[in-house]
């Protein structure tokens, strides 16, 4: 599987947009970018995924660069409940097992 690189931690002011970057420079053409998050002492939660086009759902937006070597997860109006570890994962298909890296610990500050 292609590796991803994320900053270990980030802060975001409550109500502002949280932009979480992810580098995946070795991604191959048929691999998807998935984002999960884990709130403390809970199981991971699926957020969003994409292949090459930008995606948006009720939780977040995913912006993938044209060369697909990096992406950004955007939480448009961060709340305190968005404080969590966010994992960017590259997978061939949704049937591939999910392998977690260190992720980014996002702290939303009042």
Partner 1 sequence: GAVVSQHPSRVICKSGTSVKIECRSLDFQATTMFWYRQFPKQSLMLMATSNEGSKATYEQGVEKDKFLINHASLTLSTLTVTSAHPEDSSFYICSARSAGGTGTDTQYFGPGTRLTVL
Using CB under 8 A, which of the segments 22-30, 59-67, 75-83, 90-98 binds partner 1?
90-98
Residues 6 or more apart whose CB falls under 8 angstroms from that of 71 comprise 21, 22, 24, 33, 50, 62, 63, 64, 65, 88
Interface residues for partner 1 in 37-56 (CB under 8 A)?
Answer: 38, 41-46, 49
Residue of 16, 51, 102, 109 that binds partner 1 (CB under 8 A): 102
- Smallest separation (angstroms) from partner 1 to the CB of 97: 6
Q: Name residue 13's beta-bridge partners.
A: 109
Residue of 13, 17, 98, 109 that binds partner 1 (CB under 8 A): 98
Q: Please, are residues 30 and 13 in contact by the beta-carbon 8 Å criterion?
A: no
């Amino acid at each position: 599987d292609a590796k991803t690189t994320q900053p270990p931690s980030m802060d975001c002011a409550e109500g502002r947009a949280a932009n979480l970057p992810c580098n995946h420079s070795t991604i191959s053409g048929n691999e998807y970018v998935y984002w999960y998050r884990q709130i403390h002492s809970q199981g991971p939660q699926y957020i969003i995924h994409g292949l090459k086009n930008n995606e948006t759902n009720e939780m977040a937006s995913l912006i993938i660069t044209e060369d697909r070597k990096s992406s950004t997860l955007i939480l448009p109006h961060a709340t305190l409940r968005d404080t969590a570890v966010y994992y960017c994962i590259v997978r061939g298909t949704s049937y591939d097992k999910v392998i977690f890296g260190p992720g980014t610990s996002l702290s939303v500050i009042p």
